[in-house]
Structure 1
Amino acid sequence: MDRVVYVAMTGAREITRQQAAVSHNLANIATTGFKAELNVFRALPVVGDGARTRAFVLETTPATDFTPGALQHTGRALDVAVRGSGWIAVQDAGGQEAYTRMGDLQTSINGILQTGTGMNVMGDGGPIAVAPDQEILIASDGTVSTVPTGRARNSVEIAGRIKLVDPSEQDLTRGEDGLFRLKSGQPAQADANIRLAVGTLEGSNVNPAEALVNMISLARQFETQMRVLRTAEDNHKAGDKVLAK
């Protein structure tokens, strides 16, 4: 009885957490470069005083599905997608380096190249700045060039080069802001072999049908845990009546 109560109680708790993760994935079906979050369960014994039969369910450390999303041609000059593996380096809200696949770039009012969410894009020596009234050109190797508006393209100037990195997936961790960072906390080395698809965006890798089926399955699993708890309660009451006699 002790075991079934702990397993059902903690199982129901972790199912609600996994439902939250699946809901988050579904909410980001249309988010550029989004990577789905993965969660699984495992059973663990309870350490400490009490019955040795006690066990509970625990959600493992959340993982990430790094499968590339589908590439969508936009024709916009500031839209870029990483071909194959790799990441675009950006500056997070705390000023530290982080990594994303979100390539819908823009310029701020101060002329800083940013992602669509306002994160500064990192170059070789920091954020990339672009002079005003300039047409921006991005090459497949991440080189950012500018041409004065209305002039011929033979007057191109190099503004910088987008820092592209390709650390091992096992070395990356996802932050609450959706950006990825190295577990060591150190910046990754730039990789000159990474190429960008210009005029293209990478879509989310969330499979809507699979996520919806998973949500329904989790709801039924939660109902099962609740039935187990009610059965345990009924059995306990029945046992008390027997002892009372």
Structure 2
Amino acid sequence: MRASLRTKEEIKRIREAGRILAACHREIRKLLAPGISTLEIDAFVESYLKKHKATPEQKGYRGFPYATCASVNDVVCHGFPDSRQLQAGDLVTIDIVVNKDGWLADSGWSYAVGSAGPAGQYLLDKTHEALYAGINKAAAGMRTGDIGHAVQTVVEHAGLGIVAPLVGHGIGRKLHEPPDVPSIGSPRTGTLLRPGMVITIEPVVTLGETGAVFWEEDGWTVRTADGSLGAQFEHTVAILEDGPQILTD
């Protein structure tokens, strides 16, 4: 399947979902403190989206039961919210997909509960840097391999690991649309980026150098194989004639 090319009006609709999502993340940042649980955050997100006449797209997606993916410490992706109280120093990633009037935006963000400590903060900083290195390559005429190469370069130079099986994707009407957007790659390879494409860029990075992970028996939860910390930063990005536009900032 080829990637959909969105009109300016359609991108505006995705942007509307993205604004709600970005505002929700800002509220989550205020809530995060030792003692809160990811289940409480999940309930807040569902209520927040309802107030803004939006819905959490991943709830019910392939049977996923929650409004958010909540991944703590060595869980790098697709974690289930639970009642465990977060502790100072924990890293938590909250990943949300907002559906506003049938248009979707997707953004995951990693947060420190209190202080992350030197190693945790280094992981957060470099993962954030890798995201924006990828976004800077998301221009018409470039390819998905250019994005992946930019992300990979930052991560590997930092001595960190990339979780290669977890990739970005097209988005708009459906949660996962073509093309895949890997966080590794070679320049000038992969899908050609064209004006009107809307994609997610979402490096998942580990403090351990290998980036090796395993899936738990629930079929969703992804953990680091070596027990090291993980982080993820993700934006939904539109490819425009004059460069990339972040729709979830």
TM normalised by structure 1 equals 0.25
| Structure with larger RCO (C-alpha < 8 A, sep 6+) | 1
TM normalised by structure 2 equals 0.25
